[in-house]
């Protein structure tokens, strides 16, 4: 039995089976907060996108999206499911972040609106404010080979090669990364302008190493995230909550909202 992010019986909605060596729910590597950007050789720096963490599974035309907490996300982002299904490579598992760009910067407000019980509302929002998948890791390649045991340097190289077959400004994009700490500092200075959530630093010589660790204790031991960005994100989400007449809760770390009105065919609790 393959390890999963959460026990299958606790899923709000179960995932259908997909013919891949990694099956959802699968636990993504997580970052540890630190007070400053790590220094020294051997680090890869990436912007921390202000969005929803997502694992994307594809086998032929079948696409599944999984949240950080191991919940299905596909129904909330139909445009991403379609875009991933249309990519020239027919098999992969990608790790990334779902974001929405609005007026040149990221909009977490628009992301929250997507977690809606009415499918008609989701379709309308997907056309008006389409989401983008920013990809930063390759877990399974187009040949069906698992890469979680490989060091990040090799995974990044193969991810870059994979994206050479994709449109550079499409719905599915390669997240930028750099070994230059000055670039990371520049991203930090642009946090407010772009709406970024911080910086993530990862060791180039480290594998994900999920296979030998028990569920719920799996994290990227050398990944780091700027601590104050956690406070920034929390304050922003709290401000968003005050603007809506919806009921919000967190299910295993994932923000969920549903309409407090009585249920109807177009108004039922989301998964």
Catalytic residue set: 48
Give the Cα-Cα-Cα angle 75, 78, 81 (nearest 5 degrees).
105
The contacts of residue 47 (CB under 8 Å, 6+ apart) are 175, 176, 187, 194, 196, 199, 200
DSSP E strand stretches across 124-252: 132-140, 172-174, 198-203, 224-226, 247-251
Q: How far apart are CA 211 and CA 188, in angstroms?
A: 33
Nearest Cα neighbor of 226 from 178, 187, 173, 253 is 187
3-state secondary structure of 28: coil
Q: Indicate the burial class of 25 (C-beta count within 10 angstroms; 0-12, 13-18, 19 or more).
A: buried
Lookup result for tokens 């404010």: 129
């Amino acid at each position: 039995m393959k390890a999963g992010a959460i026990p299958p019986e606790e899923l709000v909605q179960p995932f259908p089976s997909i013919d891949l060596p990694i099956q959802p729910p699968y636990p993504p590597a997580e970052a540890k907060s630190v007070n400053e950007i790590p220094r020294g050789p051997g680090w890869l720096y990436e912007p921390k996108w202000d969005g929803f963490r997502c694992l994307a599974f594809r086998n032929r035309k079948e696409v599944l999206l999984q949240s950080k907490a191991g919940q299905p996300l596909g129904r909330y982002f139909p445009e991403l499911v379609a875009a991933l299904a249309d990519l020239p490579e027919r098999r992969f598992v990608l790790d990334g972040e779902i974001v929405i760009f609005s007026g040149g910067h990221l909009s977490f407000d628009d992301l929250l609106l997507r977690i809606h019980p009415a499918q008609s509302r989701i379709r309308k929002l997907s056309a008006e404010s389409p989401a983008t998948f920013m990809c930063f890791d390759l877990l399974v390649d187009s040949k069906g080979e698992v890469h979680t045991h490989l060091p990040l340097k090799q995974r990044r190289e193969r991810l870059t090669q994979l994206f050479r077959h994709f449109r550079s400004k499409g719905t599915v994009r390669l997240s930028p990364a750099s070994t230059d700490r000055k670039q990371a500092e520049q991203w930090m200075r642009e946090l407010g302008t772009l709406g970024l959530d911080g910086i993530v630093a990862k060791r180039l010589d480290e594998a994900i190493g999920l296979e030998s660790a028990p569920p719920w204790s799996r994290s990227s031991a050398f990944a780091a995230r700027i601590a104050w960005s956690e406070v920034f994100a929390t304050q922003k989400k709290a401000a968003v909550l005050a603007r809506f007449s919806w009921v919000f809760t967190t299910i295993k770390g994932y923000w969920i909202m549903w309409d407090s009105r009585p249920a109807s065919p177009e108004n039922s609790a989301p998964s």
